[in-house]
Amino acid sequence: MSGEDAPAQQQNAVDQKQETKPAEEPKAEPPKTESAEAAATPAATTEKAPEEETFTYRALVLTGYGGYDKVKLQVKKGKPALKAGEVLVRVKVCGLNFADLMARQGLYDRLPSPPVTPGMECSGVVEAVGEEVTDRKVGDKVMVLNRFGLWQEVAVVPASHTFLIPDGMSFEEAAALPVNYITAYLMLFDFGNLRPNQSVLVHAAAGGVGIAATQLCKTVKDVTVFGTASASKHEAISQGGVTHAIDYRTKDYVEEVRKISPKGLDIILDPLGGSDTHKAYNLLKPMGKLITYGAANMLAGQRKNLIAVAKNWYHQFSIHTLSLIQGNKSVCGFHLGYLDGEMELITQAMNTILDLYKQGKVKPRIDSTWHLEQVQESLKENVLP
């Protein structure tokens, strides 16, 4: 399914859902008091259940593949145990990404089978540290990147998967940063080798990765950014740094690009898949780079659409190496979920991104925030806020 004829809900999902951040605020515990009668009771007769048994926390659990009705708010019992090298984080804000929507429909292979708690990024405060953890301490404000398991009030993760939140960054911004900005950074600079005076096509320029990619492009001198988005988002993406905004609903983005850049483009970021990947390859200049990182065209509605999946699979892009040689082009594939064993690479990218944040050159855009109670009520009605 091409970007031109894809239903609006598919592109809108990429535009909006990647940057929408469900938030929750942990309830404050009432002050503990001890009556005189209790104080007079001998310690030997006082029986208290271990904290590990009385500890409870809420979590959003994917109970099966399908619509929003498959996501349930559940109360879990027992304090999670820490292994060496791990930390316990009290989650303040967790992020919602496009991959989470695909996971709910059973289209994201890095999420274990239900029942499972999704969530790849969050921000919060370290509440406990395991043995051998030397660079984190209780009270540290951190953002977290993990394969899954972060849509809950507390999460146990490897300390190496946490990053200190810089001064001035809110918990909301911190929860919106890891997935989108690491993805955009590694694609543009590690694969793309972005340099001054080059041109870049960013699909879904109003989405989380799209906004991150646009901001990162503007850190390089004289980079021209083409961005696709629905017309209602053009003002926002233009203010964010998109040079040429294209309405994919009413115009053929290939024709629009060719009008401005007849030779084509240097870098194309493709989250759509299917026939749009073919279009992207043909839009490359000699020495151009196509970086594909998703298959948004497979999504059509709340539940898995087998026709959309089949159509996307039928139009799957493939090419002979001889064609690459003769065309002087390169094709790259990126999937952050499969880089969970490359934390040194991810940490290097994150450190650079945080430096850019401190310099005021990048800043996550928060579409909306929802308290956990709002999410719970909305799930009952089978709709999101």
Domain borders along the chain are: 56-176+369-375, 192-333
Over residues 77-82, the mean pLDDT reads 93
Write the single-letter amino acid at 161.
Answer: H
Q: Could you write out the DSSP letters of every residue in 78-115?
A: SPPPPPTTEEEEEEEEE---HHHHHHHTT--TTSPSSS
Distance CA 113, CA 90 (A): 25
- Residue identified by tokens 């040689």 is 325
* 83-141 residue pLDDT tens: 999 999 999 999 998 888 888 888 888 899 999 999 999 999 999 999 999 999 999 99
Position 301 scores a pLDDT of 52
Residue among 383, 336, 375, 1 at smallest CA distance from 177: 336
* 294-352 residue pLDDT tens: 876 555 555 555 566 666 655 677 788 999 999 999 999 999 999 999 999 999 999 99
Give domain 192-333's CATH number out of 3.30.420.40, 3.30.465.10, 3.40.50.720, 3.10.110.10.
3.40.50.720
> CA geometry: angle at 369 spanning 81 and 207, to 5°?
100
Position 213 scores a pLDDT of 98
Over residues 373-382, the mean pLDDT reads 72
Q: Of 27-36, 82-91, 116-125, 156-165, which gets the smallest average pLDDT?
A: 27-36
Contact yes or no for 267/201 (Cβ under 8 A) = yes
Give domain 56-176+369-375's CATH number out of 3.30.2270.10, 3.90.180.10, 3.40.50.2300, 3.10.310.30.
3.90.180.10
Contact yes or no for 343/161 (Cβ under 8 A) = yes
- pTM of the complete model: 0.83
Is the pLDDT reported for residue 39 higher than 50?
no
In a 3-state reduction of DSSP, which class is residue 61?
strand
Q: Which residues pair with 1 in a beta bridge?
A: none
Helices first, then strands: H and E counts in the chain: 14, 15
Q: With pLDDT > 90 as the criterion, what percentage of the chain qualifies?
A: 68
Over residues 215-238, the mean pLDDT reads 97
Position 372 scores a pLDDT of 81
